[in-house]
Chain A
Amino acid sequence: MPIGIKSYGAYLPRWLLPRDLIAKAWDFPSIPGSKAVASEDEDSITMSVEAGLDCLASIDPKSVDGLFFASTTQVYTEKDSASLIATVLDLREDIITADFTDSIKSGTTALARAIDTIKANKDIKSILIVAADTREPEPSTMWEYGYADGAAALLVAEGDDLPLVIDDYYSISANVTGPWKRTHEDKFIRTFEVKMDAQFYVKSITKVMSEIMKRNDLKPEEVDIAAYYYNNPRVHGRISKMMKFPQGAAQNGLFFQLGDFGTPMAFMLLMVALKRPKEDAKVILAGYGDGADAILMHIKDRKAVRELSKTHLGVAGHQKSMIVLNNYSKFIENKELLEKDRYVRKSSAVTMWRDAPAIYKWYGLKCTSCGTVQYPTTARSCATCRADDQLELVKLAHKGIIFTYTLDHLVGGAYLDTPVPRCVIDLEGGGRVLLNMTEIQKPEENVKIGMEVELTFRKEHEGADFHNYYWKCRPLRH
Chain B
Amino acid sequence: MSKIKGIRDKVAIIGCDATKYGERWDKNQYDLLFEASRDAFKDAGIKKDEVEAAWVGIYYYFTGMSGSTVEDILRLDGIPITRTENYCASGMDAFRNACFGVASGAYDVVLACGVEKLMDEGGSGLPGFKIFGHPVLPLPSAPAMFSMAATRCFHEFGWTKEDLARVAVKNHENGFYHPKAHFHSKITVDQVMKAPMIADPLGRFDCCAMSDGAAALILTTPELAESYAHADDYIVVKANAISNRTNFPWYIPSNGPGADFTSFPATVKAAEYAYKEAGITDPRKEIDAAEVHDCFTITELINCQDLQFCDRGMAAEELKNGTFNWDGETAVNPSGGLKSFGHPIGSTGCRMLQEITKQLQGRAEGRQVPDAKVGLCHNLGGAFSVASVTILGQRD
Contact = CB atoms under 8 A, between A and B. Distances in A.
A174 to B, nearest CB: 42
Interface stretch (A54-62, A306-314, A346-354): A346-354
B247 to A, nearest CB: 11
B251 A422 contact: no
B151 A405 contact: yes
B253 A372 contact: yes
Q: Which of A407, A434, A468 has the largest number of chain B CB atoms within 10 A?
A: A434
Interface in B124-161: 125, 129-138, 140-141, 143-144, 147-152, 155
B253 A374 contact: yes
A176 interface: no
B199 A410 contact: yes
Given A373-B253, A374-B251, A432-B252, A463 B148 contact: no
A408 B199 contact: yes
A183 B107 CA distance: 68
Contacts of A200: none
Nearest to B202: A406
A344 interface: yes
B253 A431 contact: yes
B198 A436 contact: no
Interface string B354-370: 00000000000000000
Contacts of B140: 406, 408, 422, 434
A460 B252 CA distance: 24
Given A345-B130, A383-B253, A404 B152 contact: yes
A359 B251 CA distance: 14
Contacts of B202: 406
A343 to B, nearest CB: 8
Contact of B259 (A352, A432, A449): A432
A375 B132 CA distance: 20
B135 A345 contact: yes
A419 B137 contact: no
Contact of A409 (B136, B200, B257): B200
B2 interface: no
A150 B151 CA distance: 36
Number of chain A interface residues as a range: 35 or more
A345 B253 contact: no
A99 B152 CA distance: 46
Contacts of B125: 410
Contact of B135 (A403, A406, A435, A463): A463
Contact of A436 (B138, B150, B248): B138
Interface in A371-411: 372-376, 383-384, 403-410
Nearest to A347: B135
Contact of A410 (B143, B150, B254): B143
A407 B199 contact: yes
Contact of B200 (A407, A436, A460): A407
A328 interface: no
A470 B200 contact: no
Of listed A355, A422, A460, residue having the most chain B CB within 10 A: A422
A409 B251 contact: no
Given A345-B129, A426-B254, A406 B148 contact: yes
User: 8 closest A-B pairs (Cβ-Cβ)?
Assistant: A407-B200, A470-B136, A406-B147, A347-B135, A434-B250, A384-B256, A404-B152, A406-B199
